Structure 1
Amino acid sequence: MPGNKERECQRILGEALAKQDTSSLTDAVEQVAKQQQSQTSEIERQKKILFRLQNELHELEKQIASVSEETKETERQIHQQDATIENGKLRCENLETQVKSLHTENVKLKFDIETAQEDFEEHMIRYNEYYAKIKAHKDSLGEEECKQSFMIELHEKRDLVKKLKTMKEELRQDLQNPEGNRMKQVQV
């Protein structure tokens, strides 16, 4: 720009010399001074704009750095969340495998329970049939025994034996106890 100023000044000076008869040298110098003042104010204005733009550029660079850090942090969080999601998927797959295994085992156990229940019911039916046969046989034997005279005698003799055993036990206790009822009766 300084080269441009000098050229402009020389051009104006050259014009002024050419127009010497219409204007004076003073006018030419004043015109050059005004031109320089105008250029100086334009340069100052351009410097202010440049300074403002440099400040804006600096602020934008700060914002870019901040956004870059935020982007890195966001990417880091995304990677962590991806890892967490992957772990969650693996756990879900493991749980699904366990659930399938447990379901298979439950089906097998239900089948085993049904089989055991059927076996139990068959055994209960056979037991009840056997029990009914034994009871019927026992009842018929009991009726036959009651009808026979020697069985009646046998029952009477069994009752007599029980009574005699009871009396024997009472006598033994009275003998061991000198204050007993039978001993007193004997002494009187």
Structure 2
Amino acid sequence: MQTTTRSLLDDLRSFDKGGFFDLGHPLLNRIAESFVKAAGIGAIQAVSRGAYFTAIEGAGLDSGTGGLPAEISGASKKHRFRDLKGETNRKSLEAMVKNTGKESMQWGLAAGVYSGLTYGLKEARGSHDWKNSAVAGAITGVALALTSEDSSHEQIVECAITGAAISTAANLLAGIF
């Protein structure tokens, strides 16, 4: 009897083929795979952004007196890890891990909700078109708005409209490119 062994590299290569999870239903598999992929991207994005703003600040470019344009300087204050310059390295590391986890969850939530909704709407309606994308994008936008620290009614509506617009445009442009 011959046994085959798969390496981690083989598992990672099969990740794009959709066979990484088998939760018993295609909808669950799709949500889980989208969540994991997007959460990984979110983590990379959060760490990269934090490293960038830490480097900018360390180089003295973010002094507020003209090192960076105001919109970038304002963004660095908004997206900076709150306790990155804490009293200890442990506090800084905890802040980075907490922020990275939060961003990963937000990205994963967005991808999982959107992917699950588009799949579910396709199955329910029997077709995949811009309408499915618009509804899925709007609901995903609302879900993301609700995860922010200061979600207001206006922000929730704005995120719903933005999510619907972006996903509809992506669906319509997918046929062109």
- What range describes the TM-score normalised by the shorter chain of this pair? under 0.3
Q: Which of structures 1 and 2 has the bigger CA Rg? A: 1
Q: What is the TM-score with the length of structure 1 in the denominator?
A: 0.21
Structure number with greater CO (CA < 8 Å, separation at least 6) is: 2
* TM-score in terms of structure 2 length: 0.23
